[in-house]
Chains A and B, each alone.
Chain A
């Protein structure tokens, strides 16, 4: 942190505050515990994504980010996982216990990690598959038009096999396919993984636009810089627990996040005199 930056008013809280909003607005995750057999992957995670916000979840590999999204989208059973405590609710409806299709029908759709487009189907068929969870041809046609406008390249490649698209195009297709369900909450799992910086920036821009059109976004990312620039609020997960949360700007300015997720090493930091007591001195990379 540069010396002349005003220090954040307070160090971001170590524990998330109790949700202050009334249940019923936005996506609410409360004290969520998930286990894969004997292995506990989430140990009481609470998180809130108010209607219309972009919320980022940061963390390294194995922190439980994907597990969190699986719990929201109802796909834990594909990985032999189960919610063992707490739960997820959207707009007052409890999502925990519903199957994936029912969750899509309630307006919550996930873009899976690694894109997972249907490689043997054409781009157009992939988009059609995305609309399978919603009823009505008109709604599907409107959604299709919207997706084509967001990603004109998908219209050009409509008849091509999705497996032949480039990584960036596949990511666009994966996002477009999810938008076909007209979600009110979009869950994104590592959308920039393995993409060139330019393409990652384009994806980020698209996410910003989707959000501006009124869709709530819960973004899981290892690319913390990109995630924090998009999000209004962020949570840091570590070994299945939220270790930090706060407004994205504050987190981006915090030493710990900078050091651990933004790739700045201690050596680059100017020496700090004493260090305020509220700022714990950390040994590097505690495993």
Chain B
């Protein structure tokens, strides 16, 4: 039972981090109707900046720089690729983001090389005991930070002018433009926010129990992709539920993989995609989505 509770808590914590990434996918899709395959490299860029700077300017300023940097990279991709494109078909843009991802990821991987970079985070490998259940401080921090960020985002999405503009543009871009919404600004802000959230996610993907940031950290973002898809690519709620579902599934499958040995080792890594397949077979638009992915 204790094992289960620990796995569950860890799963929720990982799920919250996946949700941060998935939320980025979703708002980019809502604002510019592009499935952003470059999300992994946005994440890597944010993490890399934090890892490189924390030695000289301290952890918190470095984290802020990483967040700002990833947001800037997001803006740049929007400005240089998405906005310039004359492609009418959004699937062309999605493929263009694959190209952007390869360029960015290769460049960052060149700088990282074979190193595993420490993030310089204050949590280290301490473990907190909550009764019989123990969880690492870093996981607990991830849970809390993700919770606060997601709540802030959702409140802003619901109540601020930015949120109203974003939702209006997502629902009907032409009419939003008729109301004076600057669609290019909405789109760019979505990329910036998605980049910032990805940078925070990068931090928590690279701290304990992970040894640090290496050139494959971005690949973890791929697990958030099923999270966004199974939640419904145009639903913020879906991103949260999808993230948690993936996180918990992965944690439980990995934790009990001794009992599931007939499925082979490493089932935890495959589980997110199995869940996505199952959900999509039953609900093609995702759990909370309203649109099937005809645009992908």
Contact = CB atoms under 8 A, between A and B. Distances in A.
Interface stretch (B126-134, B174-182, B197-205, B276-284): B174-182
Contact of A78 (B167, B168, B177, B182): B177
Interface residues on A, range: 20 to 34
Chain B binding surface, main DSSP class: helix
Interface in A134-183: 134, 177-178, 180-181
B259 interface: no
A121 to B, nearest CB: 6
A100 B180 contact: yes
A128 B161 contact: yes
A78 B180 contact: no
Interface in B147-189: 161, 164-165, 167-168, 171-183
B253 to A, nearest CB: 35
A99 B183 CA distance: 10
A121 B167 contact: yes
A74 B178 CA distance: 8
A66 to B, nearest CB: 12
Given A78-B173, A80-B88, A101 B164 contact: no
A105 interface: yes
Contacts of B182: 99, 101
Contacts of B181: 101, 129, 132-133
Contact of A133 (B88, B174, B175, B179): B179
Interface in A104-136: 104-105, 109-110, 112, 116, 118-121, 125, 128-130, 132-134
Contacts of B164: 121, 125, 128-129, 132
Nearest to A119: B171
A109 to B, nearest CB: 7
Interface in B245-275: none
Contact of B168 (A105, A109, A118): A118
Contacts of B183: 101
A227 B176 CA distance: 27
Contacts of B178: 73, 75, 100, 104, 109-110, 112, 178
Contacts of B176: 129, 132
B179 A181 contact: yes
A32 to B, nearest CB: 19
Contacts of A121: 164, 167-168, 171
Contacts of B167: 118, 120-121, 125
A132 B168 contact: yes
Interface residues of B, number: 19
Nearest to B186: A132
A78 B174 contact: yes
Central interface residue in B172, B174, B175, by most chain A CB within 10 Å? B175
Contacts of A104: 178-180
A124 to B, nearest CB: 10
B154 to A, nearest CB: 15
B193 to A, nearest CB: 18
Interface in A59-106: 73-75, 78, 80, 99-101, 104-105
A101 B176 CA distance: 9
A105 B168 CA distance: 18
B161 A100 contact: no
Interface in A239-260: none
Nearest to B180: A133
A112 B174 contact: yes
A110 B164 CA distance: 19
Contact of A105 (B88, B165, B180): B180
Nearest to B184: A99
Interface of A: 73-75, 78, 80, 99-101, 104-105, 109-110, 112, 116, 118-121, 125, 128-130, 132-134, 177-178, 180-181
29 contacts: A75-B174, A78-B177, A100-B180, A101-B177, A101-B183, A109-B180, A112-B174, A112-B178, A118-B171, A118-B175, A119-B171, A121-B164, A128-B161, A129-B164, A129-B165, A129-B168, A129-B181, A132-B161, A132-B164, A132-B168, A132-B176, A132-B179, A132-B181, A133-B181, A134-B180, A178-B179, A180-B179, A181-B179, A181-B180
